[in-house]
Amino acid sequence: MTFFASLPHDAGVRHILGLNPRAGRALIEFHSAVLRQDTALTAPHKELLAAYVSGLNACAYCHGVHRQTALAFGVEESLIEQLLDDLDSAPVEPKLRPLLAYARKLTLEPSKMVKTDAQAVFEAGWSERDLHDAVLTIGLFNLMNRLLEGHGVKGQDHLYKDRGAALARDGYAPLLAHLPAPPSK
């Protein structure tokens, strides 16, 4: 059950974004710009970060959806939970480990970020643009987690699977069709 009487009991992101369609459109376009513009940090990497950040924040909806999206991109099924249990022992490629450590610290202790956190990412072979895209992804999902939790939207397993498959297949732009058209000028 959501906290807002105007939202359906099975509300999802599109329902929340429909409360302010102009902001909703901008947020969906931001998702596309951040999550589907590949550099060395690919869409599967970004979806893994989204699921990881959402798991750290215990956001059931975002964790569920983006876990399924990451799985649809070929991320190993047990990896996300292993990362949440113990990042240091999770079977992740060495290049990803400092990026995931950066995500964890930026999510849980943002005021404690220091230059050496970024340096570890660069030393692993990521560029400034890659880290910038990771920071955008991490920040976006900290926002989205709070947006969902603040509206009381939790979701259900069948929704996670459906949305995750659709996001992997079609990206974020199709969500725009669920919002009211912008007013004509």
pLDDT in tens, 47-76: 999 999 999 999 999 999 999 999 999 999
Mean pLDDT of 132-147: 98
CB 183 within 8 Å of CB 25: no
pLDDT band at 39 (very low <50, low <70, confident <90, very high): confident
Selection from 41, 37, 39, 68 nearest residue 54 by Cα: 68
Tokens of 164: 């995750």
* pTM of the predicted structure, to 2 decimals: 0.95
Angle between helices 128-151 and 21-35 (to 10 degrees): 140
On the question of pLDDT at 182 being above 80, the answer is no
- Distance, first Cα to last Cα, the chain: 37
